[in-house]
């Protein structure tokens, strides 16, 4: 059995410390550079059992900064490759999930959360707006779409949201106008692509 190791990536409440618009007595010390206080990023943990593969407990909005400060989380091999293999979400609040928006760039990882939290993500237009859309010709895109469509833990409705509906909603696309294009591409949820 490996030893469980945790890195406290951040320990501040929502907004971090000092908060961007706060002049309370404590934040004022931070703004003044007082050595008695230290800036802190928002609460998040990174955990590993083998020192190689890491699990994040929540993805705070400060995640990019937290990764840059934690050598254990630096990309290690190949052109792309992160030791972050999974993210456990304890809820769907912005302080728990906003960091997911920074974990893009074609890096697969597992999200562990309750069904309610996963549904909240699937319903959020921001998760899908940057997905390589089904008509994309980026290498391997269609393989990824096939994986998603064949994943029993992702419903057909959620697949459609992630691949299409979320982006259409975010950019207020007129689906009636797009329909001929959709028909031409032949996208069908649940179908093998």
**Which positions lie near Zn ion, rule CB under 5 A?**
22, 24, 27
75 CB burial (10 A radius; 0-12, 13-18, 19+): middle
Nearest residue (CB) to Zn ion, 22 versus 178 = 22
Cβ-based nearer residue to Zn ion, 60 or 166: 60
The C-alpha atoms of residue 77 and residue 129 are separated, in whole angstroms, by: 28
Shortest CB 16 distance to Zn ion, Å: 10
CB of 12 to Zn ion, least distance (A): 10
Closest approach, Cβ 95 to Zn ion, in A, equals 16
Q: Hunting for tokens 């550079």 — which residue is that?
A: 33
- Of 6 and 22, which has the nearer Cβ to Zn ion? 22
Q: Which residue is nearest to Zn ion (CB)?
A: 27
Query: By C-beta, is 22 or 146 nearer to Zn ion?
Result: 22
Residue 98 CB, shortest distance to Zn ion, in Å, is 20
Query: Residue 61 belongs to what H/E stretch?
Result: none
Minimum CB distance to Zn ion smaller for 27 or for 84: 27
Q: Show contacts of 123-127: CB within 8 Å, 24+ apart.
A: 123/161, 124/166, 125/166, 125/167, 125/169, 125/170, 126/101, 126/166, 126/170, 127/100, 127/101, 127/162, 127/166
CA gap 18, 119 in Å, rounded: 32
Shortest separation between residue 69's beta carbon and Zn ion, angstroms? 22
Please give the distance of CA 133 from its chain centroid, rounded to a whole number: 17
| CB closer to Zn ion out of 22 and 112 | 22
Please report how close the Cβ of residue 25 comes to Zn ion at its closest, in angstroms: 8
Which of 76, 127, 139 lies closest to 103, judged by CA? Answer: 127
């Amino acid at each position: 059995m490996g030893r469980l190791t945790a890195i406290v990536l951040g320990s501040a409440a929502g907004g971090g410390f000092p908060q961007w618009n706060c002049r309370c007595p404590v934040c004022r010390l931070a703004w003044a550079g007082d050595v008695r206080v230290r800036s802190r990023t928002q609460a998040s943990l990174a955990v590993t059992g083998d020192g190689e593969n890491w699990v994040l407990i929540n993805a705070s909005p400060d995640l990019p900064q937290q990764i840059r400060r934690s050598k254990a989380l630096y990309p290690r091999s190949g052109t792309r490759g992160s030791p972050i293999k999974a993210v456990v979400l304890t809820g769907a609040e912005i302080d728990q999930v906003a960091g997911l928006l920074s974990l893009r760039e074609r890096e697969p990882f597992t999200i562990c959360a309750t069904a309610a939290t996963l549904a909240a993500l699937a319903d959020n237009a921001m998760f899908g707006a940057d997905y390589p859309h089904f008509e994309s010709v980026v290498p391997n895109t269609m393989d990824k779409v096939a994986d998603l469509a064949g994943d029993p833990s992702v419903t057909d409705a959620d697949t459609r949201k992630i691949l299409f509906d979320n982006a259409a909603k975010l950019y207020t696309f007129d689906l009636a106008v797009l329909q001929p294009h959709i028909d031409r591409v032949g996208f069908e949820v649940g179908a093998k692509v």
